[in-house]
Structure 1
Amino acid sequence: MPWIILLLCSLFLAPVQAAVSPAAAAAATTTTSTASADSAPAAEPTLEEKKAAYAALANVLENEQSRTELIDQLRKVAATPDAEPVPAITPVEEAQEETTVLENVTALGREYGGELASRFAQLYRNISTASHKPFNQQTFFNAFTHFAMLAGAVFVFYWVLRAGAIPLYRKMGEWGRKKNKARSSWLHLPAMIVAAFVIDLLLLSLALTVGQVLIDVMNAGSRTIARQQGLFLNAFALIEFFKAILRLIFCPRVPSLRPFPVSDASARYWNTRLSGLSSLIGYGLLVAVPIISNQVNVQIGALANVVIMLSITVWALYLIFHNKAHIQHNLIALADRSMAFFSLFIRAFALIWHWLACAYFIVLFFFSLFDPGNSLKFMMAASLRSLAIISVAAFFSGLLSRWIAKTITLSPQLQRNYPELQKRVNGWLSMSLKLARILTVCVAIMLLLNAWGLFDFWQWLTNGAGEKTVDILIRVSLILFFSAVGWTLLASLIESRLASDIHGRPLPSARTRTLLTLFRNALAVIISTITVMIVLSEIGVNIAPLLAGAGALGLAISFGSQTLVKDIITGVFIQFENGMNTGDLVTIGPLTGTVERMSIRSVGVRQDTGAYHIIPWSSITTFANFMRGIGSFVANYEVDRREDETKANQALRDAVEELMTREDIRILVIGEPNFAGIVGLTNTSFTLRVTFTTQPLKQWTVRFALDAMVKKHFDLADIRPPVQTVQVMQPGAEATQMNAAAGGALPPANPTV
């Protein structure tokens, strides 16, 4: 993995000093000589300075661009009048040749590879040829005796303190578990876990205080012995603090205080091995290596450092790959029990945790080789900061995830007046909390990089780029907030008019629903477009080309969609004029049917045959609506010409009067029927007419009932309908003879009515 090697190299390599170009050196020499010429004669340059100047001049003259700039400056100096100051000749920068990506990678690898080789060469020199003082056996064993006495006393005292606190820890855990059974008392167990960790730190502080007192008593008046004992006490504080964190996580001796669901065997396994690793690393690097280098030999100390860290690295890699599958299985099981947001990160971590752990110990190995004194402190400090950052980020992300799952419930009055407001507010809050959770993860990642020295977060935050980024984020957040508030208010007002009668209000007409839906969609497009444009301008995008492109695109679309635009505009005006609504019976051209759907582009009409027609608004020039105000019909009844006109009229009036006595028919009729008398006369019949005004779409109901009633009364009054008569003309004798001569019968004569 090349990126890991590059990361490791970047961690421990020292900064490379910048090289000065020959042209810059020559320019600096020229400027210095010119400045000192007025005061004192310039000193004779050395041979090396002359060679560097010649090489710089050759480089300038070799490049066409730099040569042209130098000639222009010389001509400008030559053309300067005597009264004006002579302009100084500025250094001509050498033109940098463009390099390929492969050349850059090769140069970078060569640079870091050379630094790595030099580090190993320095390590080899420390082991093989470093100067050292002769070994004094008596001094060494005297110091070792006092050191061992102090270490034993501190270890025993600290072990006694911790052993005496075990019963207290057990009582705290049992009490916390007992209280935790009630859902309202969930805080007691975490409080007991934190209190046990604080007590552990207090015991460690007490042991350190006693150790410091013992150093003053047991140093035998030797500064060397006191310094070695101080090294032990510092390492003891650092290592035991790390072990206290391990006990907080695994708690092998008091399972009731264990914060995570880990078995007793696994807790003891990992606590023992990680404690052993930390002890070997800490006491080996911070105590053993400095004492061996000071008391025995520098070479032996450097070699002991290599052996200790190599052993620790091999052991750690063995533990990692030996438990890889088991830990991965447990992490996946934990992801299955976690929230969806955390499950994604846990599953990703389960796939790469062993590589991260390997990289951690490999980096520690190289750090300890090149900087034994500070490597462990840096790694442990970075690890603790990383744990703290991850814990805080996980806490806030968990809070945000719980808030996302919750919803805001508005009052029944608001829900009745604005039926979609609660859903929309919860949607905006959920989206905002999700963005805050993503921002938390991004900040946590940058802080983790800062903890490991890969990224200076605080300098970036207070520098130009960081300040600009934060300023842009704040302004974009405000823009999105006000856009969301404006859209929510306007859409809620529109949707309050679209509320159905389920909330106790009458259902709005199809015309109103169509127009309000059109306005809502138009507002959505306008607000979204304006918001996107403002946000793009805030983040530094030049929106002028976008506006020009949008104008050209809109012009092209307008030419290509003239019919669509015509449909929309025509539909809007028809809706404004309240021409038709859903459920109306209309006649559009040759089609007569019921309006079932209206959109901003077309209207859907269902015929009585069941056929469904979609008619664009632009194709409607005229239409008839049978649902506007009233309905009416004209009933004509033909009577035989030989019938009495007075008798026929009376029979018709009797039929209408009996019809009007029916309640189900009378409520459908508006006003009184209008009798027109005889309105038509032929050689066989005359026509009587009566006119009715009814409620919309009820004219056929009244007409069918009237026809039945008229037939009844006409039959009772013996009023006959007109009868068709047929007169058959017989052929004459001449025709008969001609037909016989022709050998066929004549066709029948055409009947006359």
Structure 2
Amino acid sequence: MPWILLLLCSLLSFQTQAVTVPAAAVAASSTQTGDASPAEPDLEEKKKAYSALADVLDNDKSRTELIDQLRKVAATPPPEPVPAIKPPEELSEEKTVLENVTDVSRHYGGVLAERFAQLHRNITGSPYKAFNQQTFFKALTHFTMLAASVFAFFWLIRLCMTTLWQRMGKWGRKKNRDRSSWFHLPLMIITAFIIDLLLLALTLFVGQIFSDMMNAGSRTIARQQGLFLNAFALIEFFKAVLRLIFCPRFPDLRPFPVSDQSAKYWSIRLSGLSSLIGYGILVAVPIISNQVNIQTGALTNVAIMLIITLWALYLIFHNKRNIQQSLIRLADRSMAFFSLFIRAFALIWHWLASAYFVVLFFFSLFDPGNSLKWMMGASVHSLAIIGIAAFISGMLSRWIAKTITLSPQVQRSYPELQKRLNSWISASLKMARILTVCVAVMLLLNAWSLFDMWAWLTNGAGEKTVDILIRIVLILFFSAVGWTLLASLIENRLASDIHGRPMPSARTRTLLTLFRNALAVVISTITIMILLSEIGVNIAPLLAGAGALGLAVSFGSQTLVKDIITGVFIQFENGMNTGDLVTIGPITGTVERMSIRSVGVRQDTGAYHIIPWSSITTFANFVRGIGSFVANYDVDRQEDVEKANRILKEAVAELMERQDIRMLVIGEPSFAGIVGLTNQAFTVRVSFTTQPLKQWTVRFALDGMVKKHFDAAGIRPPVQTVQVMQPGPDAAQALQASEAATGALPPANPTV
């Protein structure tokens, strides 16, 4: 705020007397400041203003008068603002995509050029510091003693824990092979990692004690040793993560299926890279810059980062094919959900790794200390995010493969409830898995400062998005619960229970099935409309369009409406149901399917007919209540009537003794005696009342039994007779006259 001080000082003279500030001047100055801001004073003007203000404040009288003037100005009411007439602002032309890309390129190119210019000034223009050989070697001796002590202590305590780590790995692998519990091996791996971190913390504590003993009372040496301890903590933590992943010395604690040779290869090289980066950038460069000069430190930083980058790029592209094949094999053994991500990563992993080290190279050139800490922190955060997300997704995938099993009583009462619950739970877990991946991606972008997730969540867009997602989840949840409850109640009515409740009638089953289908359509439509409204879609035009479309369809589909109404009334009248034997017009068959528009009938020939409800005027149903048939048997006219009736009753009596036939017959058979008489035969009749659709079974059995008894009793069926008339004398004379009139007939076998 230097220009404010300059403005205050301009109100005062450089003498010790105060100058009165008129109100008009204040108003004028306030009016002018609304139009244009004062110019930024230069350095000399600022110095003069500071000196004048110091002189005023140094004198008691002038200071008091200045305070009074300021309070008077503060108490003066501001003038009424005068509206200024401004010309309309010209609309700025929208830039094309190419122009936007050019602007962004220029901006970041300028920033990069400025950073390189700053690096050049650090190398060439920094003040030169004389090299003190005695101080340098003294600091180097104490630094080396501390480093050797810390490394020796860390190596010794890790060596003491070797046996424990071996036993932990063997015990976890044994439990995993026995499949007694799946979490023993992951628990041992995590415990080993925690022990490794505790040993690192103990080493840092001991190293701090060593530093207090070996700094020779020099702040410079203590600072250098502090740099080493900080770098040691950062690098060894990263190495602990590498040991967690590869674990070259203890294969039983290795979480991934990596061979011993590959584990040692990558562990050694990545540890070497991390040591060179950490101790070179965080320790060597600051010490050289302090003990030798800044130019040498900057050149050392450039050389170290160049070596690291080239070595890393060589390792990446030298092992590109092997790692890609290993990732593809891992994808083949993984779940389908993870296989997709692993295969995608196998195609681009080398580019991501190359970009990582190139970015680290440039960042380390411009800001060696902070850039490495930021990159290491972002890397650790990324590994933690990926690990946690993979663990959560793996757990969700395992739960997706499992199913809920309800008790037999519940399954009997609600046949589809178990299947429906499993489908809803599976869909919910899949959505949770997708949400986990989305959150992990956002956290990864946030870790690399490419996206500010927390700011996005706290501003309008993020809050609105989260609110919409929560609303959508609640709508889907309540829709699923409502559909499950209503559908389960309907299915309960469609099934018998354990207490012996009979199965519902075919009419009830048909109506409940139609109602369930209609309920599904209604709930789905309402849910979709509410979801569209929640995501910001205006559903008023959709509803209006649906109404207009419904009106147009109603005029064009009168037959469809007639089909629906006729079908509903036929069902309410219990006209037919699935499985009934019916005759509709010329078609007789079994009802196989009933929809809201038509009925499907299968004939005994196998032909399937779809008959619209509106085309049915009359129909016959053979399964309503009872079945019956009348059996007529013709007997030769010469047989004894009493005998024929008696043999027929005997045949019926023997038939009724059969248990499989008797249970199909309702009541007793009815004998009518002689019901017909001709010149050749008389007819005896017996009638039966049976269960629905069982009349043919009883009739066929009766026919066989009657034939058996009639044959045994010698009762003959009627015989068809033909009477042949012999011609008389008149007929012979007439025949001769006709032959004479027409000529003689040719011989039967003419001869030549």
Which interval holds the TM-score relative to the shorter structure?
Answer: 0.7 to 0.9
Residues 303 and 85 (structure 1 numbering): CA distance in 2 closer, same or farther, change over 3 Å? Answer: closer
CA distance, structure 2, for counterparts of residue 586 and residue 174 of structure 1: 74
1:43-85 deviation per Cα after TM superposition (whole angstroms, max 9, x unaligned)? 9x99999xxxxxxxxxxxxxxxxxxxxxxxxxxxxxxxxxx98
What amino acid sits opposite 1:692 in the alignment?
Answer: S
**Which of residues 79, 96, 111 in structure 2 aligns to 1:100?**
96
Q: CA deviation at 1:275?
A: 1.2
2:311 aligned with 1:315, yes or no?
Answer: yes
**Which of residues 99, 107, 112 in structure 2 aligns to 1:116?**
112
2:94 aligned with 1:126, yes or no?
Answer: no
Q: How does 1:560-571 map to 2 (within 5 A)?
A: 560-571=556-567
Q: How does 1:284-363 map to 2 (within 5 A)?
A: 284-363=280-359
Query: Relative to structure 2, which stretch is displaced further, 273-282 or 143-152?
Result: 143-152
Residues 274 and 534 (structure 1 numbering): CA distance in 2 closer, same or farther, change over 3 Å? Answer: same
Q: CA deviation at 1:241?
A: 1.9
Partner of 1:488: 484
Q: How does 1:202-601 map to 2 (within 5 A)?
A: 202-499=198-495, 509-601=505-597
CA distance, structure 2, for counterparts of residue 635 and residue 279 of structure 1: 106
Q: CA deviation at 1:505?
A: 7.2
Q: CA deviation at 1:140?
A: 3.2
CA distance, structure 2, for counterparts of residue 106 and residue 450 of structure 1: 26
Q: CA deviation at 1:429?
A: 1.1
Q: CA deviation at 1:363?
A: 1.0
Contact 2:675 2:685 in 1 (8 A): no
Partner of 1:65: none
Contact 1:634 1:689 in 2 (8 A): no
2:668 aligned with 1:668, yes or no?
Answer: no
Contact 1:638 1:722 in 2 (8 A): no
CA distance, structure 2, for counterparts of residue 196 and residue 609 of structure 1: 76
Residues 36 and 727 (structure 1 numbering): CA distance in 2 closer, same or farther, change over 3 Å? Answer: farther
Residues 128 and 702 (structure 1 numbering): CA distance in 2 closer, same or farther, change over 3 Å? Answer: closer
1:445-470 deviation per Cα after TM superposition (whole angstroms, max 9, x unaligned)? 11111111111222222332222222
CA distance, structure 2, for counterparts of residue 125 and residue 213 of structure 1: 40
Contact 2:644 2:715 in 1 (8 A): no
CA distance, structure 1, for counterparts of residue 176 and residue 706 of structure 2: 86
Contact 1:596 1:604 in 2 (8 A): yes
2:619 aligned with 1:623, yes or no?
Answer: yes
TM normalised by structure 2 equals 0.78
Q: Secondary structure at the residue paired with 1:312?
A: helix
What amino acid sits opposite 1:351 in the alignment?
Answer: L
What amino acid sits opposite 1:420 in the alignment?
Answer: E
Q: Secondary structure at the residue paired with 1:261?
A: coil
Partner of 2:609: 613
CA distance, structure 1, for counterparts of residue 597 and residue 498 of structure 2: 28
Q: What's the Cα RMSD here?
A: 4.1
Q: Secondary structure at the residue paired with 1:270?
A: helix
CA distance, structure 1, for counterparts of residue 269 and residue 343 of structure 2: 25
CA distance, structure 2, for counterparts of residue 255 and residue 447 of structure 1: 32
Contact 1:584 1:625 in 2 (8 A): yes
2:694 aligned with 1:694, yes or no?
Answer: no
What amino acid sits opposite 1:271 in the alignment?
Answer: S
Gaps of 5+ in 1: 1-33, 50-83, 746-753
Contact 2:479 2:527 in 1 (8 A): yes
Contact 2:412 2:498 in 1 (8 A): no
Partner of 2:72: none
Q: Secondary structure at the residue paired with 1:403?
A: helix
Identity %: 72
Q: CA deviation at 1:477?
A: 1.6
What amino acid sits opposite 1:338 in the alignment?
Answer: S
TM normalised by structure 1 equals 0.78
Contact 1:583 1:596 in 2 (8 A): yes
CA distance, structure 1, for counterparts of residue 676 and residue 185 of structure 2: 101
Equivalenced residue count is: 672
Q: CA deviation at 1:582?
A: 4.0
Contact 1:420 1:492 in 2 (8 A): yes
CA distance, structure 1, for counterparts of residue 540 and residue 31 of structure 2: 61
Residues 190 and 723 (structure 1 numbering): CA distance in 2 closer, same or farther, change over 3 Å? Answer: closer
1:238-293 deviation per Cα after TM superposition (whole angstroms, max 9, x unaligned)? 11222222223333334444333333322222221111111111111112222222
Q: CA deviation at 1:86?
A: 5.2
CA distance, structure 2, for counterparts of residue 92 and residue 315 of structure 1: 61
CA distance, structure 1, for counterparts of residue 25 and residue 551 of structure 2: 66
Q: Secondary structure at the residue paired with 1:184?
A: coil
Q: CA deviation at 1:567?
A: 2.9
1:303-334 deviation per Cα after TM superposition (whole angstroms, max 9, x unaligned)? 22111111100100111111112222222222
What amino acid sits opposite 2:451 in the alignment?
Answer: F
1:142-177 deviation per Cα after TM superposition (whole angstroms, max 9, x unaligned)? 433333333333333333333344344445445555
Residues 677 and 91 (structure 1 numbering): CA distance in 2 closer, same or farther, change over 3 Å? Answer: same
Q: Secondary structure at the residue paired with 2:600?
A: strand
What amino acid sits opposite 2:610 in the alignment?
Answer: I
CA distance, structure 2, for counterparts of residue 173 and residue 701 of structure 1: 75
Q: CA deviation at 1:374?
A: 0.4
CA distance, structure 1, for counterparts of residue 208 and residue 193 of structure 2: 23
CA distance, structure 2, for counterparts of residue 654 and residue 393 of structure 1: 91
CA distance, structure 2, for counterparts of residue 718 and residue 193 of structure 1: 98
Q: Secondary structure at the residue paired with 2:180?
A: helix
Partner of 1:28: none
Partner of 1:200: 196
Q: CA deviation at 1:179?
A: 5.7
1:459-511 deviation per Cα after TM superposition (whole angstroms, max 9, x unaligned)? 22233222222222222222211211111122222223444899987665543
CA distance, structure 2, for counterparts of residue 575 and residue 215 of structure 1: 94
What amino acid sits opposite 2:381 in the alignment?
Answer: R
1:196-222 deviation per Cα after TM superposition (whole angstroms, max 9, x unaligned)? 433333333333233333433433443
Residues 227 and 717 (structure 1 numbering): CA distance in 2 closer, same or farther, change over 3 Å? Answer: closer
Residues 483 and 163 (structure 1 numbering): CA distance in 2 closer, same or farther, change over 3 Å? Answer: same
Gaps of 5+ in 2: 1-23, 40-79, 745-752
Q: CA deviation at 1:516?
A: 2.5
Q: CA deviation at 1:739?
A: 6.7
Partner of 1:150: 146
Q: How does 1:652-663 map to 2 (within 5 A)?
A: 653-654=645-646, 657-663=649-655
Contact 1:639 1:721 in 2 (8 A): no
Q: CA deviation at 1:90?
A: 5.4
CA distance, structure 1, for counterparts of residue 683 and residue 170 of structure 2: 105
Residues 735 and 608 (structure 1 numbering): CA distance in 2 closer, same or farther, change over 3 Å? Answer: farther
Partner of 1:141: 137
Query: Relative to structure 2, which stretch is displaced further, 688-697 or 218-227?
Result: 688-697
Q: CA deviation at 1:537?
A: 1.7
Contact 2:630 2:688 in 1 (8 A): no
Q: CA deviation at 1:525?
A: 1.0
Residues 135 and 520 (structure 1 numbering): CA distance in 2 closer, same or farther, change over 3 Å? Answer: same
Q: CA deviation at 1:691?
A: 7.2
What amino acid sits opposite 1:329 in the alignment?
Answer: Q
CA distance, structure 1, for counterparts of residue 157 and residue 699 of structure 2: 108
